Amino acid sequence: MAELKTIEVPVKGMDCAECTQHVQHAIAGLAGVESVNVLLASEKAVIRLDPARVEMPAIRKAVSDAGYSVPENQGAETESAQRTTSDFTNRILALFAVVFGFVLFVVVVGEWLGLFEIATQYIPFWLGAGLVVVAGFPIFRNVIRNALHRQITSHMLMSLGVLAALAVGQWATAMVVVCFMYVGEYVEAFTTERARRAVKNLTALAPQTARVERNDQEMELPIAEVRVGDTVIVRPGDKIPVDGQVIEGQATVNQSAITGESMPVEVGAGANVFAATIAQLGSLRIRTTHIGADTTFGHVIKLVEEAEANRADVQRFADKFTTYYLPIVAGIAAITFLISRDPLATAAVLVVACSCSIALATPIAMLASVGAAAQRGLLIKGGKYLEALARADVVLLDKTGTLTLGKPQITDVVSLNGIGETELLTLAASAERDSEHPLAQAIRTAARERNLVLVTPREFQSVPGMGIRAQVNNKAIVIGNRRLIPGATDSEHAHRLDAQGKTLLFVAVQDELVGVLAASDTLRPEVPEAIKQLRALGVKKIELLTGDNERTASALARQLGVGFRANLLPQDKIAIVREYQKQKHTVVMVGDGVNDAPALAQANVGIAMGAAGSDIALEAAHVALMRDDWLLIPDVFRIAQRTMRVVKMNLAFTGVYNVVGITLAAFGILPPILAAAAQSLPDLGILANSSRLLRQK
């Protein structure tokens, strides 16, 4: 078997979750397709396939046979992102007014004034029926295609309603039903397009060209032609087109496209910058490290687009419900005819049933929330995690780099067994030269402040949760906590520093303890307020998980008013998450996304702080905060709870609406014309309700 390949295929014409199911079934039926995920928001199918067994023409034909299309030109479309939320709301109200006015016109002019009866009298039935068939042919053709694929759609029921109206000679009524089928299609398309807006606005921020310096010449190139290692020139007001490192210049950069933070930051030589951010003041020369889809912004877009695939349980329920809903409606219509013998009442039951509104109730709200949150620097990977956040009752917290600034400082250097402080710090900083741990950076900073000269270590080895081992000047150096160096805490210096709540690092040379380094970190100033807000949002249990000692953990936990567990290894954190999950709790783990990545993945929802520029954090977490701001965490909980309230309102509204509509139609109170008009209105109600999520505060 050939190596499997994943491709993305754009699909046009999808208006609701029902459409995505049709496309998914069509592509999944092709030999050589292992899996397929059809995404409504980004209008594409992500397909994992065997390229030796299935080719693009076969995929295009399968999509076409299902009633949709694959554009020949698959280039990315860019759209203006300048439409405001107030514009958006006005468009909803305007569309509602147009549809309502049209319904009123049809009812008053057509039904109550008897114009339909007049038209029926003066136009032969065969001509009227022909007009109905011609007008509705595109819809009827898709209905037949779906029927051949054993797929029941709402248009199939409405088409049966059209046949019922024709069967009793009411071709004018049938024509109005066809008209409202088109109105319904437009409303569904409009509804879905509005939900896509937040995602498309995000995509539109991606830069398209770059000013590149090659062979001592400056040229403007499409992003696709920029290479890693190229020097990119950015002038004031330019959008930075790549991820890279500043090699020359200084500028004030607006990073809101990545972090959601409107306050600009100052960058200079050595600083890392991100694609889609804007240099407001100053010029930069940047060495390119990532381009296009490989940039942080590219990862954000990809993850937001694919968030739809992580469906909430309530969405899966809605999808399954629509599968059974249409046959149930058909059964109710059959019972109506058997009891009343009224074909028009039967037709009205078939016509009024609106399955698309049920299918749209959840994804529209989820798409709106995920897209709007991404523009604020909150990357949520799907409705599954929004639903879990809304019911979460346990929050577990990492310490270093999460609760604290992650920039500890060495406060004490204690030398033992005859070694001097300078030599101790030189050996420790040299051994930690290749480590990225915050404590290693603190040691190097302390050495740099004393102008110490470091050497390159050999045989460097990181021991997760404990420390490091390395060879420095042919000496075996071990730096770590008490688990890595047993008996290290016996000294009175260790007891004194430990009593102060400081983090201790023990240094051993050739298996002999030669010193103790003490470090302390700074709590993020917004953490106490954020924890207070989490409790107000219904989180019952908040617990600190740290590899630090009991005394350090206890001091911080008391300050925050939370529980704690100390001296933990990464696997211990995973075990604690599982422990709570076995007790039927919904667990949220908050960390930095690096050394606690396994615990983040194990939690029902893993939230990574400061994920901008960190591929590990973006991949490990279910929710990524693109900037280090603890107040974003209660914001995410609020967004989730608000989203689920909107989803429940949508489902309740569309459920009641359909029950009332079907009941009125079954009793002959709602004629087919009004039934056709009524079935197009729930989508607008769902859109209006869900659009509130685009205005997250």
Query: Would residue 398 show up in a list of annotated catalytic residues for this protein?
Result: yes
The rounded percent of the chain whose pLDDT value lies above 70 is 82
Looking at 3.30.70.100, 3.30.457.10, 3.30.70.141, 3.30.420.40, the CATH number of the domain 5-65 comes to: 3.30.70.100
* Average pLDDT rounded to a whole number, residues 9-33: 81
Hey, where are the domains in the chain? 5-65, 227-290, 393-404+523-603, 409-520
> May I ask the CATH class of domain 227-290?
mainly beta
For residue 107, what is the DSSP state?
I
Strand residue runs (E) in 577-632: 587-591, 605-608, 623-625
DSSP string, 153-164: -HHHHHHHHHHH
Both tokens assigned to 122: 């003066």
Which residue is associated with the tokens 């008013």?
A: 561
Cα 125 from Cα 279, distance rounded (Å): 69
Torsion from C-alpha of 31, 35, 38, 44, nearest 10 degrees: -70
The rounded percent of the chain whose pLDDT value lies above 90 is 21
Determine whether domain 409-520 maps to CATH 3.40.640.10. no
Q: How far is CA 132 from CA 172, 175, 281, in A?
A: 8, 5, 63
pTM over 0.85: no
Cα 48 from Cα 27, distance rounded (Å): 11
Determine whether domain 393-404+523-603 maps to CATH 3.40.50.1000. yes
The β-bridge relationship of strands 394-397 and 209-214 is unpaired
The β-bridge relationship of strands 623-625 and 378-380 is antiparallel
Half-sphere exposure of 281 (CA within 13 A, CB side): 4
Both tokens assigned to 369: 């929330």
Going by pLDDT thresholds of 50, 70 and 90, the confidence category of residue 142 is: confident
For residue 523, what is the DSSP state?
B
Both tokens assigned to 35: 């899996």
Going by pLDDT thresholds of 50, 70 and 90, the confidence category of residue 140 is: confident
Question: Is residue 637 within 8 Å of 392, Cβ to Cβ?
Answer: yes
Selecting among 398, 592, 635, 683, the annotated active-site residue is: 398
Amino acid in the structure at residue 666 = A
Amino acid in the structure at residue 73 = N
Per-residue pLDDT at 106 exceeds 70: no
Span of 83-87, 351-355, 583-587 with lowest mean pLDDT: 83-87
**Of residues 359 and 586, which shows the higher confidence score?**
586
* Average pLDDT rounded to a whole number, residues 361-378: 81
Average pLDDT, the chain: 81
Which residue is associated with the tokens 């004490």?
A: 412
Question: Is residue 136 within 8 Å of 158, Cβ to Cβ?
Answer: no
Question: Is residue 136 within 8 Å of 183, Cβ to Cβ?
Answer: no
Q: How far is CA 542 from CA 39, 388, 404, 529, 562, in A?
A: 36, 16, 16, 14, 6
Which of 110-114, 139-143, 261-265, 470-474 is the most confident on average? 470-474
**Of residues 258 and 529, which shows the higher confidence score?**
529
